[in-house]
Amino acid sequence: MEANLAMALVVFGILFLTLAAGIWVGFSLFIVGFMGMVIFSPLPAGNNMASSVWSTIEKWEYVALPLFILMGEILYRSGISEKLFKSLVPWLYRLPGGLLLMNIVSCTLFAAVSGSSAATTATVGRITLAEFDKLGYDRRLAMGSLAGAGTLGFLIPPSLIMIVYAILAEVSIGKMFMAGILPGLLLSGIYSSYIIYRGIRNPEIAPKTQESYSWKERLVGLKDLAPTLILILMVLGSIYGGVATPTEAAALGVLGAAVFAFLNRQMNFKILFKCLVGAVKTNAMIMMIVVGAGFLSRVMGFLGIPAAITRTITELGLSPYMLMILLGVFYVILGCLLDGFSIVVMTLPIALPMVTAAGFDPIWFGIYLILMVEVSQITPPVGFNLFVIQGLTDEPIVKVARYALPFFFLMLLTTAILTIFPKIALFLPNLMTIK
């Protein structure tokens, strides 16, 4: 077993060297897998690489990925986010914290149709941050709340990272989607409670406006919520109702997003071409990481590394909760170095057997892992949401990370609650039978 652990140290050492050298994550994974097989195994590296790539990408479920990405690209340019903002203003402006709650509510709703953390952050931030500056809202809390709430794009279905996890862990995509609903609403509620608390303690963070809205104006404004709610119903309703598979629901989502974009006069062939190119680039990046990690996972399996690490940690005699705390610390550290997709596909072959052996449900662990990935979205130096907000505001990345720090701790609090009460994630998946 010591030999296996020594090989693990060599493999991970080569990986971090390639990443430190600035090589793309997907290519780094291929390089490390190839070198590990050449150095430690008599098996033909090239043949195994080709076989691994094919066995990874031939799964039909991956077709949902580019479709959900394309739907997010269309929504980003469709004007739906502006309508969402206008419809929510009359309902939120009088609450403690005022329109700062807009970041939380808008991200929660937009996450339910985008599937991407970065797309949610960019789309909502493009509208809200400029408005907050104009109204004199606390800039630090505006950026921090956006950084935290933007991560809901990974937790609230349909989520791209949930699709990848479900395929790799061999669990139902539909059940993973259902498992994310209550934890997503819980995290959104905790964020909102924090904003309201800050608003009560310090009303100056949200200057009062002189505008007032009648109940008629509020109710009429809800019509602008219709596109978002219809898309949520089309995508998630078709899955949970057993009418469509996740892949078919993604196609419905693309069709719905395109129709609303044309009706909103925010779509033409030039913009559609940009949407298609953006979707191809994003999907290529994700799939390069997935197939690279798939090859590296196969190599580590041949070398016995996951089994050796699992046995070593099992022999420590940790309680299930201590195991999750240890994994949580590991994921927070890893999140400072890698993006979310890399974290999931690289660690799953090692972590999942340990977690299931400790008695945890793989669907529950998927939600736990996605929460850890969300944490990585706002931890420097690689936190992707931080870079999105930096691009919107020109603020230094260190400042944006500091503003997001309270929401980092709120995510850890949510993870702890979910660990103590796993039924929060498992209630809906156990309620219905879906594929």
| pLDDT tens figures, 264-311 | 777 888 888 888 888 888 888 878 878 887 787 778 777 777 677 767
| 424, pLDDT greater than 90 | yes
Report which residue type is found at 83: K
| 187, pLDDT greater than 70 | yes
pLDDT tens per residue across span 217-243? 777 777 777 888 888 888 888 888 778
Other CB atoms within a 10 A radius of the CB of residue 194 amount to 21
What pLDDT score was predicted for residue 98?
77
pLDDT tens per residue across span 105-132? 888 888 887 777 877 888 788 778 877 8
Question: pLDDT-based confidence at 139, cuts 50/70/90?
Answer: confident
**Residue in this structure with the two tokens 């009359």, named with its chain if needed:** 90
pLDDT tens per residue across span 316-328? 777 888 889 888 8
| 8, pLDDT greater than 80 | no
What pLDDT score was predicted for residue 1?
52
The separation between CA 220 and the C-alpha centre of its own chain, rounded to angstroms, equals 33
Contacts of 141 (CB under 8 A, 6+ apart): 100, 195, 198, 205, 403
What pLDDT score was predicted for residue 416?
93
| 435, pLDDT greater than 60 | no
What pLDDT score was predicted for residue 345?
80
Query: What is the C-alpha to C-alpha distance for residues 411 and 245, in angstroms, rounded to an integer?
Result: 31
Read off the pTM. Answer: 0.82
What is the percent of the chain where pLDDT is above 70?
94
Contacts of 229 (CB under 8 A, 6+ apart): none
Mean per-residue pLDDT, 362-369: 95
